[in-house]
Every structure is written in C-alpha cells, then in structure tokens.
Amino acid sequence: MTVYSGNIKINTQGEIDIIDITENIKKEIGKSKIKNGIICVFNPWSTGTITTIEYEPGLKKDFPDFLERIIPKNIYYKHHETWHDDNGHSHVRASLMGPSITIPIIKGELIHGTWQQIVFIELDTKKRTRNLITQIIGE
Amino acid sequence: MTVYSGNIKINTQGEIDIIDITENIKKEIGKSKIKNGIICVFNPWSTGTITTIEYEPGLKKDFPDFLERIIPKNIYYKHHETWHDDNGHSHVRASLMGPSITIPIIKGELIHGTWQQIVFIELDTKKRTRNLITQIIGE
Amino acid sequence: MTVYSGNIKINTQGEIDIIDITENIKKEIGKSKIKNGIICVFNPWSTGTITTIEYEPGLKKDFPDFLERIIPKNIYYKHHETWHDDNGHSHVRASLMGPSITIPIIKGELIHGTWQQIVFIELDTKKRTRNLITQIIGE
C-alpha cells in the first residue's frame, strides 16, 4: 500500500471557467503506479470547486446560469464589508459545492462515465492560477 | 491493508426515485472483510447522485420539491441543443449534488446515524439501471 | 499503512452556528502519527454538514442568508407530518450539503488554504452536541 502526492496546475480564464481535468487526473494516476485505490483531488482555495459534468457546450452555460440564479453576483454580501472586494458570491458558491472529489481507481483506471468528466470550476471574479492537490492511496 | 472493489446494482423507477442503499453498502463491507477503513461509493453517470437523508415519506417528497424549486424541469437548458433531449435539469442537479460519498468503517460497521440513511437519487427523466462502484480501503 | 479512528465533540449554539473545526482536525492528525494520507470527517446526523469557508464575520452571515433564500425555514415541509416537528428545512439543507469531507494530509500537515477553514454547520433548530467521526488512513 502506498500514498502518492501530486498536483495539477491550471490557469483559469476568469469567472465560471469550467476546465476538464480528467486527463490531468489520469496522468497523476499513471505517475503514482497505483493500480487499485482511491484518488482525492482537493482545491486549497475558498473560491473554486471540483465536480463532475458532461463536458459539452450547453451544460457549460447551463450550470453557470443556475449558479447565478441561486447565488447572484450583484446582490449584497456582508463579505464585502470585511475585505472591500467583490467576490462574496464566489465564496458562497464554493462553500455550497465543496472543495474536493474522491474517486475509485480500479486496475489502473480512473472510474468515471463516458459522458462524465471531472472538472474544476473557477468561481472567483478574475483569472487565477490554481494548484490542485492529488492524493492517491492504494496498491 | 487491502483494497476491495465491488458494486451495487439498482433499478430505479424513474425521475426522483430515492433508493435507500444503506443495507447494500453494509453487505459490500461484509464481503470485503475490512474492519477499519473507509468506503467510497461512486456513481459513474452524470444524471444521478448519492447523499444521506432520513429515509421517511415526508422528506422523500420535500427533497425533490426543493430540487424542482431551484433547478426546474421546464425552463430552457442549452444542453437540449446539443442532444435534443429533455434532461438538462437532471445534469445540473447532478453536478450540484456530486457523484459520490465517502464514509468511515469502524470495527466492521458502516458509520451513520440511526435516522441517517445513504441514498441514491435518480435524477434522469426515465427508469435506469445503475451500477454503483464501491471501493473500500482498510485493514 | 495505518487506520486511525478518532472524534471531535462540539457543542453548537443553535441553528446556523458555523464552527471552525480546523484546529480540532489538526489535533486528530497529530494524535494519529500519520504523515501522509487522507482524513475523512463524517457527521453521523441528518441535520448538520461539513464544508470549507473563509471563516470571517461577513460570510458567517452570507452563507446562512443563502440557505434561507433557497430552503426557507417557514414554508411547508411534509417531513413535519411524520414527526410533528419543525426542522424539515434542516434535513433538506443537510441532504444538499452532504455529511462529510475528505482532505489530503502531506508531511503531517492538513492541506487547506490560508483563507480556507473547515467548518461544521449546525442546521438543526436548536443547540446540539455533535460527535464527528475522524477517520485517517495513511502511513
């Protein structure tokens, strides 16, 4: 049984950029040499999230439209009083969605559906460089 | 330390069928012979989710009612332009809720509250056969 | 490779109390002696949740305000027919948010951002004592 720690560095193009990280995760699994176990991908920032989606142009708009409906950008957030910034909605969206995902690895393969990709979603209001942590445990 | 891979096959009765999979998970833990560790239950499709709920008739209606309020079935989704189907809301709901759950196993027992069951929720618009992956790591 | 089981006992001050459990988690990691692995923190009740947030006074109001907008306390829940209680919204909020979080541990340190704390959120309508389960796997 081994533990492998790696990372996935991505440059996001600004708010609501949805980036398919499935291939990045598979590369990390290859590097780890672990054949059976789990991978935890964790985002150590409070304005981004990781989830799964069918990565096609329609949903890449539908999902942000949904977030804007339930957590609008332009309502008042008390967070702005603390820092005088503009990303209260980014924080609320990230706390709702959560910072990580845990996925099985079987026979060296990441488990996921054909129409199910793993994505990082930039929730902050500007371009950011994100360094996601990939922790793999198995044998 | 061992890794055990199994699965839970369920037939759902259509949209918003909420299925209690707690006993199915306990059977998998029994088969694994693992006494202390964690189990990750993963849904490899993009229109279903796994969470916990008190499994009683009231909440089995309250939770779908909530999903319909925040992600209505009959508004316009751009996803429908891609595939000419009808399940844009199913995908958005699944991306919000996430594809998996990770739970501790202690002394051979799945940790969960007396009034807290683990459930699969069918989010797609029709009956489906779902094969959930159960990955257990421990000793 | 070892498995360590511990717990974090907290007394909540009532509905929407958001409690920073980051230091409690770090103490558990210290006790486990595990240097590299993952920790799963699990809430075995159906009316609380665990997530990450920048723990500052503004967001401690913004996040509850958001929950109240999408899952209001004072609308009708069928759950109340089952038990004649008042916490249908608490259950729906908990099922949405999920019962647990999984986080990497590297070189003895819990991975998280400087402005990202791990929190337990009391979703029930009264003060509760909560005993969270901390399961650590690694070496």
pLDDT tens-digit profile of A88-131?
999 999 999 999 999 999 999 999 999 999 999 999 999 999 99
pLDDT for the residue numbered C94: 98
* Cβ–Cβ below 8 Å for C97 and A96: yes
Q: Which residues contact C61 (CB under 8 A, 6 or more apart)?
A: A78
Give me the residues paired with residue A19 across strands.
A120
Nearest residue, CB atoms, A98 vs list C51, C111, C138: C51
Q: Give the one of C71, C81, C99 whose C-beta lies nearest to B52's C-beta.
A: C99
- State the angle between helix axes of A57-70 and B59-70 in degrees (0 to 180), rounded to the nearest 10: 100
A60: amino acid identity, one letter: K
Shortest CA gap C126–chain A (Å): 22
Put simply, the answer to whether B92 touches A62 (Cβ < 8 Å) is yes
DSSP line for A32-98? HT--SEEEEEE--SSSEEEEEE--SHHHHHHHHHHHHHHS-TTS--THHHHH--S-HHHHHHHHHH-
CA geometry: angle B91, C67, B48, nearest 5 deg: 20
Q: Say whether C13 sits in a helix, a strand or coil.
A: coil
Are C105 and C36 in contact by the 8 Å Cβ rule? The answer is: yes
Chains that touch B (3 or more CB pairs under 8 A): A, C
How far B40 CA lies from chain A's nearest CA (Å)? 7
Q: Which of A59, A61, A101, A139 is best to mutate for the B interface (most B CBs within 10 A)?
A: A59
- The model's pLDDT over C77-116, given as tens digits with 9 standing for 90+, comes to 999 998 888 999 999 999 999 999 999 999 999 999 999 9
Average pLDDT score, chain C: 97
> Which chain C residues in 6-45 lie under 8 Å from chain A, judged by CB atoms?
36-38
pLDDT tens per residue across span C24-79? 999 999 999 999 999 999 999 999 999 999 999 999 999 999 999 999 999 999 99
Q: Which residue in chain C is spatially nearest to B34 when comparing CA positions?
A: C3
Examine the pLDDT at B83 and tell me if it is beyond 90. Answer: no
The SS3 of residue A23 is helix
Separation CA B113–CA C3 (nearest Å): 21
Q: How many CB pairs under 8 A join A and B?
A: 102
Q: Is A81 on the interface with C (CB under 8 A)?
A: yes
pLDDT of residue C83: 87
pTM for the model? 0.98
